[in-house]
Amino acid sequence: MSVPQSSLLTGTAGEELAASLKGRDFLALADYTPQELRYLIDLAIELKRRQKSGETYHPLKGKTLGMIFEKASTRTRVSFEVGMYQLGGHALFLSGNDLQIGRGEPVSDTAQVLSRYLDGIMIRTFAHRTVIELARSATVPVINGLTDSEHPCQVMADYQTALEHKGRLEGLKVAYIGDGNNMAHSLLMGAAKLGMHMSVATPDGYEPDAGIVAQTRKVAADTGSIIHVCRDPREAIEQADIVYTDVWASMGFEAEQAERERAFAAYQVNEELVKSAKPDYLFMHCLPAHRGEEVSEGVIDGKHSIVFDEAENRLHAQKAILAALL
């Protein structure tokens, strides 16, 4: 289904939204209005169209992004690095072990030094407070490439992909089955901001953070979204437009793998479970996936799966964030 032409990218409204984003940090979806998030998604679709048509667009010519990686990544590193190149800029890979921050230099000192060299900083790390501290001390935009609490760039790509396939976001139901982790947190806030409904099913003890759920429900009250957290995956997936899952043991929790396999045994997204979703449901996963654990091969490799469209859109969604902020 084709995406309706956006009116947010042109005219006075588009100019005002563009101005509101310039120079901002991108740490969590809660920091952005529904209109700003939709503008970024629409911009991502437009930048994707330009690339596919062979147009050259270099708004970031001469600009440099520093990419700090304290957690390894495939999609985050490649998409940000390629994205900066396609926008006319340059990206630097900065391993946490190669920086003085890995030897005890305060985050605030690193932020101030890097701000003298760079036009923007992307960081993929563990504690969310590290990103907040970095942004507080930096004088250039800071982008959250992932923390243990949030994964906002991934969700921008996720909902861009949903829009491309469904033609709308408002009123769609997302069912998330599995660990109430950073993905669940950002998906919840994104859904509430964009007028989508979302149900989350997790085992006891693995629920999403109660404070984030409460914050999401407060947003949902203004947008008309319905947010539901439960134990039963069949209850959550009932009549879902989008079915989403993630690995049971995220990076940093590998030592809990065996324990989590037992806890999540009834939460695999498989052919039997998805019978409760809508007939035209879409399956999404942020990747990497463990086939046979959180999802069956038949689902992730089946006709409803759009995981590789989703992965591709990391490039386009992040280009939109880079172009808007830098």
Q: What pLDDT digit, counting tens, does each position of 229-258 carry?
A: 999 999 999 999 999 999 998 877 788 889
Which CATH architecture does the domain made up of 152-309 adopt? Answer: 3-Layer(aba) Sandwich (3.40)
Task: Determine whether the annotation assigns residue 151 to a binding site.
Answer: yes
Task: Determine whether the annotation assigns residue 230 to a binding site.
Answer: no
Q: What is the dihedral of CA 249, 253, 256, 259, to 10 degrees?
A: -30
Task: Determine whether the annotation assigns residue 232 to a binding site.
Answer: no
In CATH terms, the fold of domain 12-149+313-325 is Rossmann fold (3.40.50)
Q: Do domains 12-149+313-325 and 152-309 have the same CATH topology?
A: yes
Task: Determine whether the annotation assigns residue 33 to a binding site.
Answer: no
| Cα–Cα distance measured from residue 201 to residue 235, given in angstroms and rounded to the nearest whole number | 8
The DSSP secondary-structure symbol of 159 reads H
Domains in the chain: boundaries: 12-149+313-325, 152-309
Task: Determine whether the annotation assigns residue 313 to a binding site.
Answer: no
| Cα–Cα distance measured from residue 46 to residue 9, given in angstroms and rounded to the nearest whole number | 9
Run of H or E including 34: helix 34-52
Question: What tokens appear for 305 in the block?
Answer: 């799966």
Q: Give pLDDT, residue 33.
A: 98
Question: What tokens appear for 49 in the block?
Answer: 């169209």
Q: Which residues of 225-250 are buried (b: 16+ CB within 10 A; e: fewer)?
A: bebebeeebbebbeebbbbbbbbbbb
> Catalytic residue positions?
124, 151, 154, 246, 286, 314
Q: Distances from the Cα of 259 to the Cαs of 60, 128, 230, 251, in angstroms?
A: 46, 25, 21, 15
Q: Give pLDDT, residue 2.
A: 57
Q: Give pLDDT, residue 3.
A: 65
Decide: 324 and 316 in contact? Cβ < 8 Å: no
Task: Determine whether the annotation assigns residue 50 to a binding site.
Answer: no
Q: Give pLDDT, residue 40.
A: 98
Single out the residue of 227, 229, 238 nearest to residue 278, CA to CA: 238
Assess whether the previous peptide bond of 288 is cis (omega < 30° from 0). yes
Q: Which residues of 50-64 are buried (b: 16+ CB within 10 A; e: fewer)?
A: ebeeeeeeeebeebb
Q: Give pLDDT, residue 6.
A: 72
Residues of the chain scoring pLDDT < 50: none
